[in-house]
Structure 1
Amino acid sequence: MIKKSFQYIKNNKIKATIALVAVVAYYFCLPKNLFNQPYATVIQDRNQELLGAKIAEDGQWRFPEADSVPYKFKQSLIYFEDEYFNYHFGVNPVAMAKALVQNNKAKKVVRGGSTLTQQVIRLHRKNKKRTYVEKFVEVVLATRLEFMHSKNTILELYASHAPFGGNVVGLDMAAYRYFGIPAHQLSWAESATLAILPNAPSLIYPGKNQEKLLAKRNTLLLKLHENKVIDAETYALAIAESLPGKPYNLPQSANHYVMQMAQKYPEQTLTSTLDAHLQEQVNHIVAKYYNLYKQNQIYNVAVLVADVNTRKVLAYVGNSPTDAAHSKDVDITVAPRSTGSILKPFLYAAMLDEGELLPKTLLADIPTQIANYSPQNYENTYDGAVPADIALSKSLNIPYVLMLKDYTVNKFYEKLKQLQLSDINKQPAHYGLSLILGGAESNLYDLCSAYANMASTLNFYNKTQKYRSNEFQSLQSNSNIDLDFGKVVSDATVFGAGALYQTFTAMKEVNRPNDDAWRYYDSSIEIAWKTGTSFGSRDGWAIGVDKNYVVGVWVGNASGEGRAGLTGMQYAGPILFDVFRSLPKNEFFKEPASDLQLIDVCTVSGHVASQHCPSQKAKIPKKGINTTICPYHKVIHLDQTKQFQVSAACEDLDKIQTEVYFVLPPVMQWYYKSKNMNYKLVPPYRSDCGTSKQHVLDFIYPENNMVLSQTKNQAGELQPVIAKVAHVNTEAQIFWYLNDTYLGKTKTFHEMMIEAKPGDYKLYAVDEMGNEAFVNITLN
């Protein structure tokens, strides 16, 4: 047989060549990809519910090709368009013959006789003019398509590219446009309606041809019933359904997220990690506050909600429902903005973790100038000394500037890089100490990632007493991306669990907006949270975290315009708590007992207790044992009346009484005693012991080696500089000298005007007992 075939080919070379060319031409006559049109980008939530879409570049609402066709639509389509679809090879000769007879009788095309396969070819060929030549081409290509693809794939191609009226292309878009639901939720009546439309798309327009469309739909439903595809009850209910009315708009619940994903994943259907129900709740909250805040000319709000343990974004509001004049299209969640105080917990955690601080360690809160930088607390008040955790909960600026000075900007900068705050990308020297007060910019997405990573570190440690090598990474909103948290390791990669728990515990004490009594309510939400307000009231931040969720809020104007009264507490805070109330049950973090140790801590200073301190047991991070022993409790030698200090030089040893005093440096003491009425001043030295010098006074302003610029009044005259000194004794007199020139004396309130020509000077302050302090200054 084979020999005969070769012999035939040899004897009929021309015919064989023609046949070979025909076979090759037939094989390659149809491209592998039939449709090269642009597609819309479609974004679904984690349950495949539509969040939004971006229209295709050609202006058509054409969703990406579907990978399945719903059963109801499939049956409706086959019984309406091509009853023998499952049996033919792409062409139905009987139907074509009947169409030819009817067309000849009518002397025009009244029936096509095309199969669904042929209709896919027509769509591929962009509905070229109907001629017999074109029909022949369709037949050839249809048979080739049947060889190339399965019946299901052919139906998928049809359902994805058929016209459904206007600029609606494909079943998925049509289901949303005309019924407001995904295709797999269509009823029999809805499926039958859409099965008819590609054959006559103009029937769908409201108010036009409704009776004709209804008749066609009901005829199809009857056919389905007669062929036992649907039962009598289903048929009765289906014909009772009304036709679609006004077209539905596509969901627009996460516009900024949809636009962002459309840039990353163009012309795809993406299943996100967002929760459509939660997204709508957060949208409602944002809209409520936007309508309130715009009365104060604050127009922009952004909110991010994520699952701590999976790092999946659950809700994404890139901006408030404002208008184009107020930058409605700007996605604030990824926009760099001044951080205000939102970085303070990172410094607190770092210093706890490295044994440079304990939660109750007293920090200086006094007027401070470092080089030419003079930080101020928000309310321009000073506590003198304040526990570190309270400084965090009250967001005091000066203690944190001094903490950063001790920790160093370079070390903190490296810590922020570990937290993956991508917008903090200049050299550390560019930021200086202002880094902790908003001198840097970051974005809501990165900051929420950092807080989620910290919370997840603590959660994982509480489960395993271990850490993960790749714990710190960015939040994800694409459900197709699975994060790799790395290997289980013994050592923390950024912060230890003990330091994190005590940081979150301190953050839990932040005062809440309009609710000073929240601690007394059993129903109060337990979260660790922090606010931030940038210079000029341009940015209001609030980020909160519990065991399961992180919520971040930014409020302000995208233009950068500040508004009086805009603070993170008063504007971002209420939104944050409303969002937390919309989340499932709130849980606070568990204590990581194995990463904490119990030691004696000074009850007053918060340092590791010395032998002279009143102390109590307290849990601290393991490295906290390396912090300094309390420097403030000192043994003071007194006379028998305990009204004066004495020494062995002026009193018999057997008459000297000893008592432990809590003694702060003079400037800290000056402010601390005004806030702490129980502060006990050290008695002065007895007059006959006056030669003993003590550290009882210090300069508040200016500081040593400071350069002071003298301003001029309207007459061009130099104005004096005001110097200020603190003394532990409120009744003491202080004598002032500039170099060798006596300036005068002060009592109770120690302020002195300095008037001198430009130059370098030494400024002295001396009390009646000969105790002195001095600073070197330069006037210009």
Structure 2
Amino acid sequence: MLIWYFFSLPGNLFNDPTATVIETNKGELIGAKIAIDGQWRFPEIDSVPSKFGKCIVAFEDQQFYRHPGFNPVAMAQALTENIKAGKIVRGGSTITQQIIRLSRKGKKRTYFEKLKELILATRLELRRSKEEILKLYASHAPFGGNVVGIDMAAWRYFGLPAYQLSWAESATLAVLPNAPSLIYPGKNQKVLLRKRNQLLQTLLNAKVIDSLTYQLSLQETLPQKPYLLPKIAPHLVDRLSKKYNGQRIQTTVNSTLQKQVNQIVKQHHENLKQNEVYNMAVLVIDVETRKVLSYVGNTPTDKNHQKDVDIIMANRSTGSTLKPLLYATMMDKGELLPEQLVSDVPTVIAGYNPKNFDESYSGAVPANRALARSLNVPAVRLLQEYGLQRFRDELNSFKMKGLKYSADHYGLSLIVGGAESNLWDLCKTYAGFSGTLNHYQETSSEYFTNEFVEPILIDSEKADFGKRTTRKQMYGAGSIWLTFEAMKKVNRPEGDEAWQFYDSSREIAWKTGTSFGNRDAWAIGVSQKHVVGVWIGNADGEGRPELTGLNAAAPVLFDVFNLLPNTPWFPMPYDNLAKVEVCKKSGFLSSANCIGKKMYVPLLGVRTKSCPFHQLIHLDKTKQYRVNSSCEAIANIHHVPWFVLPPLQEYFFKTNNAAYKALPPYRSDCHKEIEEKMDFIFPKSSSIVYLPKGFDGKTNEVVLKIAHKNPETRLFWYIDSRFIGTTKQFHEMPVLPKPGRHLITVLDEKGNEAKRIIEVKN
């Protein structure tokens, strides 16, 4: 009998499925998913709220802390009353016995079953403490409908966590397990009120509450309707419920910040939907811990606009968000300097014709300014120079799940939105850059082997950055810092243009991105402490006019950053930088022919080539004409350094730089040296030209364009050796060739020649 008694009670009394409960890092409810059996049954509570504990003991079992699991006196009284009534009108069960009855799932309430419950109750008393028994009861008692347990009951009937319930509210819930149907909205109010007030009177008589508390509690109203559970991060709840089904999970989310970001998203959503843009996602990560502080997976839109889609994890066109990675790696490898001029001219590479967002060209632009302005043409040309396959292989180190195809699949469009990734992976990558700089400073110039660790959602977890090492894992701290310096200079959205003039202004490295067809608008910002990522668009992929990273996503980014503590800018990582002299105008390493300035570059930057754009030219004594030994005595020649760009770059560069001086012409009596004089603007090399048609259906002419060092020079145009015309000043020639391949030849007055083969199609 003793052996049977010892093993009579199961190790786990309750095996019912529970709801998935997601909380903040401080235990505040974010949201929950109902249990698979359709019951709102939260996982067992850690402790019973003090007020509710006193109320339930006073109402159900006043001798709870004295009896061994059953109360003989109460049982005798109940037996007597039931015999007199001829039916069961009163129970004598203790809280411990009720737990046993709840765990046995609907056994008949006979005296024989009562005896079983009594024996099992004594066994439970020997196994568990009184506090643990009370927790079992509070976690599994029915509270009306499909509500089980005090935690869910407090939210359903009062919209509060259980520990915040008042005495009146606790008393109301304490009487429900005895008669759960009393809570039905709009019914049984008098009976429920009477039971609640009787319990409050009992608490007053027992001196658990004072008379003032009693009087105030009597004035409180009963619940009139059920409350909805909080839904401050529904997409995060959905995501975690798949992995932690039926568990109570404390996340890293900061409740206050999450609610504030929700409000920002709601406000911008109201404006954006006027342009038929319905979806948005925002992610905030703490760089030091890599914990997610805010997770907004979508806007409060409707099902017609995919409100349930978690955009944070959705792969979308990256736009320009990968450009900083290319910029950083080329500097890190010593193949680019921060202010080095890069080409920004009309370009066709293997049939691919990249264009800047505004379809304009600068001719030549400093690399850091090209990044700040997010110019597409320089980025594509730099990627070709660096190597598409080489860069694609490096991207594997960041473990972006959307990047799953080969370099050939993406082509050079990889750098301007041809690839896909998601907000989670992009923010993780930017956080890794920020963390690299922070750790480099904190560890006296050391790195960690696992800097690009996954962001953390579970509060009890810690980021594993790996081991400390003197070897960089991806990019050195110097190249990252210089990349962030360039990103800090991006023009801010309307209303925040003069940020740098304020002492309290936030220094943020940030990047926008806009995909082809205005389908995706990105903005990702980095400070020492935080990474904020924003995506805006339509989940179904529909593009909308004026949906750009700068116009749509950037304002949200800065609104969110304004909620976060301001932090100082990243310290310069001197140990990973070298001070060199570069040409002021070109940004290349200085030569004898240019005026230099000192600046910091990555360590391998000292290996880059010296400036190719500064030449030593020879002028006569008037300094108006170029000369050489064929027409001027060497003693009379003046040697002057001159900044010279190739013709096509010069054509666009001088329209944006009034200070640019073209090379002076040769004096008429001099023998001219061979030099590059002109280049095609249109058509581009090996391009296909489609003849446009007007509204009347007639085929219109196509206009050929060329750039010449000396616009005043006359140019002679030929198609397949057939002369078609002459131009001066504005070198544009309208033609209407037949479909097929044609050779375009242009000659100037000095015999310089430029040729281009094109294929014409209707």
TM-score by length of 2: 0.95
Q: Is the 8 A contact 2:289 2:462 kept in 1?
A: no
Q: CA deviation at 1:146?
A: 2.8
2:432 alignment partner, one of 449, 453, 466: 453
In the TM superposition, what whole-angstrom CA distance separates every residue of 1:459-501 from its partner, at most 9, and x where no partner exists?
A: 1112222111111112111112211111111122112211111
Q: What is the SS of the residue equivalent to 2:754?
A: strand
SS in 1 for 2:176: helix
Could you report, residue by residue, the CA deviation over 1:393-440 in whole angstroms, capped at 9, with x for unpaired residues? 111111111111111112222232222221011111110110111101
The equivalent of 2:459 in structure 1 is 479
The one of 495, 498, 502 aligned to 2:478: 498
Deviates more, 1:355-364 or 1:213-222: 213-222
CA gap 1:292/1:691 in 2 versus in 1, 3 angstroms: closer
Structure 1 equivalent of residue 704 of structure 2 = 723
CA shift for structure 1 position 760: 5.2
Residue 648 of structure 2 corresponds to: 667
Please tell me whether residue 572 in structure 1 is matched to residue 531 in structure 2: no
Conserved? CA contact 1:548–1:587, under 8 Å: no
**Letter aligned with residue 581 of structure 2:** D
The answer to whether the 8 Å contact 1:43/1:258 transfers is yes
CA distance in 1, matches of 2:254, 2:4: 51
Separation of aligned partners in 1, 2:561 and 2:194: 52
Pair 1:367-2:346 in alignment: yes
2:346 is paired with a residue whose SS is coil
SS at match of 2:265: helix
Could you say what secondary structure the match of 2:54 adopts? helix
Residue 628 of structure 2 corresponds to residue 617 of structure 1: no
Cα deviation for residue 233 of structure 1 reads 5.4
Q: 1:296 aligns with which of 272, 275, 278?
A: 275
Counterpart check, 1:173 vs 2:152: yes
* Distance in 2 separating the partners of 1:488 and 1:473: 14
2:158 is aligned with 1:182: no
Residue of 365, 371, 376 corresponding to 1:397: 376
How far apart, in 2, do the equivalents of 1:619 and 1:691 lie? 41
Q: 1:344-493, aligned counterparts within 5 Å?
A: 344-464=323-443, 465-493=445-473
What are structure 2's unaligned runs of at least 5 residues?
none
Q: What residue is the counterpart of 1:333 in the other structure?
A: 312
State the match for 1:262 in structure 2: 241
Q: Distance in 1 between matches of 2:593 and 2:695?
A: 57
CA contact (8 A) 1:691 1:770 kept: no
Shift of 1:720: 5.6
1:648 to 629, 646, 651: 629
1:60 is displaced (CA, Å) by 1.5
How far apart are 1:119 and its partner, in Å?
0.5
1:691-719 residue CA offsets vs partner (Å, 9 max, x unmatched)? 52211212223344445556778999876
1:287 equivalent in alignment to 2:270: no
Is the CA contact (8 Å cut-off) linking 1:596 and 1:621 kept in structure 2?
A: yes
Question: Could you list the per-position Cα deviations for residues 325-370 of structure 1 after superposition, in whole angstroms to 9, with x for gaps in the alignment?
Answer: 1111111111111111111111111112221111111111111111
Name the stretch that deviates more: 733-742 or 397-406: 733-742
Structure 2 CA distance for partners of 1:86 and 1:635, relative to 1, 3 Å: same
Letter of the structure 1 residue corresponding to residue 302 of structure 2: D
Q: Per-residue displacement from partner, 1:517-551 (whole Å, max 9, x unpaired)?
A: 23223343321111111111111111111111111
Distance in structure 2 (CA, Å) of the matches to 1:692 and 1:231: 106
Q: Aligned with 1:333: secondary structure?
A: helix
Q: How does 1:40-59 map to 2 (within 5 A)?
A: 40-59=19-38
Moved over 6 A (4+): 711-719
1:776 is displaced (CA, Å) by 4.1
What is the CA–CA distance in structure 2 between the aligned matches of 1:517 and 1:83, rounded to whole Å? 70
CA deviations over 1:447-470 (Å, ceiling 9, x no partner) = 111111111111111222211111
Write the mapping of 1:624-643 to structure 2, written as runs, cut at 5 A. 624-643=605-624
Superposed displacement of residue 685, structure 1: 2.3
Partner of 2:539: 558
Partner of 1:688: helix, strand, or coil?
coil
Secondary structure of 2:358's aligned partner: coil
Higher mean C-alpha displacement, 589-598 vs 561-570: 589-598
Q: Secondary structure in 2 aligned to 1:199?
A: coil
**1:100-121 residue CA offsets vs partner (Å, 9 max, x unmatched):** 1110011111111111111011
Match of 2:103 among 99, 109, 124: 124
In structure 2, the residue corresponding to 1:612 is in which secondary structure?
coil
| Shift of residue 228, structure 1, vs aligned partner | 4.3
Q: Is the 8 A contact 1:333 1:443 kept in 2?
A: yes
Aligned equivalents of 1:704, 1:684: Cα separation in 2: 28
1:191 offset after TM fit, Å?
Answer: 2.5
Contact map agreement 1:690 1:769 (CA 8 A) in 2 = no
Find the aligned partners of 2:695 and 2:24 in 1 and give their Cα distance. Answer: 66
SS in 2 for 1:550: strand
**AA of the residue aligned to 1:773:** A
**Shift of residue 725 of structure 1?**
1.6
Counterparts in 2 of 1:641 and 1:771: CA distance versus 1, 3 Å: farther
Compute the displacement of 1:651 (Å). Answer: 2.8
Letter paired with 1:561: E
Answering whether residue 199 of structure 2 is matched by residue 220 of structure 1, we say yes
CA pair 628-152 structure 1, distance change in 2 beyond 3 A? same
Could you tell me how far apart the structure 2 residues matched to 1:253 and 1:322 are?
14
> After superposition, where does 1:64-213 map in structure 2 within 5 Å?
64-213=43-192
Q: Output the TM-score relative to the length of structure 1.
A: 0.93
- Code of the residue aligned with 2:731 in structure 1: it is H
The one-letter amino acid paired with 2:180 is: P
Q: For 1:131 and 1:749, how far apart are their aligned partners in 2? A: 106
Structure 1 unaligned residues grouped into runs of 5+? 1-21
Aligned CA distance change for structure 1 residues 214 and 712 (closer, same or farther; 3 Å): closer
Identity level (%): 54
Aligned length: 759
Q: Find the aligned partners of 1:377 and 1:186 in 2 and give their Cα distance.
A: 60
My pick for the range that moved more, 578-587 or 717-726, is 717-726
| Shift in Å, 1:91 | 2.2
Q: What is the rounded CA distance, in whole Å, between the counterparts of 2:679 and 2:622 in structure 1?
A: 28
- Once the 2 structures are TM-superposed, how far is the Cα of residue 162 of structure 1 from its aligned partner? 0.4
Kept in 1: contact 2:346–2:684 (CA 8 A): no
2:631, 2:671 within 8 Å by CA — same for their partners in 1?
Answer: no
**C-alpha separation in 2, matches of 1:170 and 1:78:** 15
Distance in structure 2 (CA, Å) of the matches to 1:766 and 1:640: 31
1:697 alignment partner AA: M
Q: Decide whether aligned partners of structure 1 residues 573 and 265 sit closer, same or farther in structure 2, where only a CA change above 3 A counts.
A: same
1:517 maps to 2:498: yes
8 Å CA contact 1:420, 1:473 repeated in 2: no
C-alpha deviation, 1:29, in angstroms: 3.8
